Amino acid sequence: MFEEDGTARTKLLMHLGFCLPAEEKDTVQDDLSWSVNETTHEDKVEEKMGYGGEKEATLFAADNGEDLFNNLPSPKADTPVSTSENSFAVESTVPSADLIPQESDGLEESADASFDDAVQRALVVGDYKGAIEQCIAANKISDALVIAHVGGSSLWESTRDQYLKMSRLPYLKVVSAMVNNDLTNLVNSRPLNFWKETLALLCTFAQGEEWAVLCDILATKLMVAGKTLAATLCYICAEILIKP
């Protein structure tokens, strides 16, 4: 299981019930190349068999001027002809009121007009931070992040970090650890019931000596909680999967 560091980590992830993302790009490219080659091959076969000329003749066989006029349908004798040009013109140029499309200014009215006004006033003068504070206070986090992106990298990072601290979602705690490069806090804060996911995260993101230290921390927590088998696996991983 533990031949090389890269292979060992991949096998450990599989042992824990996880798989690496599939490389779809090469597969799609191979399928596209095969399709192009197959089409080219079929065209060459048709040329050798002499199908090309027959196919072209078939396509343009109907391009005959006399046949076109001979096949035109003759006008029916009982077709009524309007004699009132003025009546026709009025009917065609005066559309019904129900058919006239209603113009829209493209703006969506908000339920809280005061909030919209406050944010717009801040944006008009370039007060991105003030607009973001208004959005966060109204729990419009997505709006705050979009505005922060316009305000520059520093404002974007501070808004993102504020949002990650506010969020209680488990997967965003993982994102926060990735962003801040704080795997130690992640190991200390994650519930032991998810020790496999925690070990998999370390397997994916921990580097060098950090891997051994974090595995040892996780193993110690598991041992204290009475999860001996899980702790043993983490201790083994801490000793073996160390990059030279």
The verdict on pTM exceeding 0.85 is no
Cβ-count burial 174-190 (b if 16+ within 10 Å, e if not): bebbeeeeebeebbeeb
In a domain, 209, yes or no: yes
206 within domain boundaries: yes
Q: Phi and psi (nearest 5°) for 188?
A: -75, -25
- Total residues belonging to the chain: 244
The verdict on residue 85 lying in a domain is: no
Tokens matching residue 100: 């006239």
Task: Tell me the per-residue pLDDT of 2-39, one tens digit each, with 9 for 90 and over.
Answer: 344 557 778 888 878 887 777 644 544 555 455 555 55
Predicted confidence band of residue 103 (pLDDT cuts 50, 70, 90): low
In a domain, 90, yes or no: no
Q: Which of 11-15, 86-90, 215-219 has the lowest mean pLDDT?
A: 86-90
Q: Is residue 154 part of a domain?
A: no
C-alpha angle 58-64-69 in degrees, rounded to nearest 5 = 135
What is the residue range of 230's domain?
A: 176-244
Do the domain assignments include residue 126?
no
How confident is the model over 141-198, as pLDDT tens digits? 999 999 999 999 999 999 999 999 999 999 999 999 999 999 999 999 999 999 999 9
Taking only the tens place, the pLDDT of each residue in 65-76 is 555 445 555 555
Residue 4 half-sphere exposure, CB side, CA atoms within 13 Å?
Answer: 2
* 226 assigned to some structural domain: yes
Task: Kindly state whether residue 27 falls inside one of the protein's structural domains.
Answer: no
Give the number of domains in the chain: 1
Farthest CA pair distance, the chain: 101
Q: Which residues contact 5 (CB under 8 A, 6 or more apart)?
A: 241, 242, 243
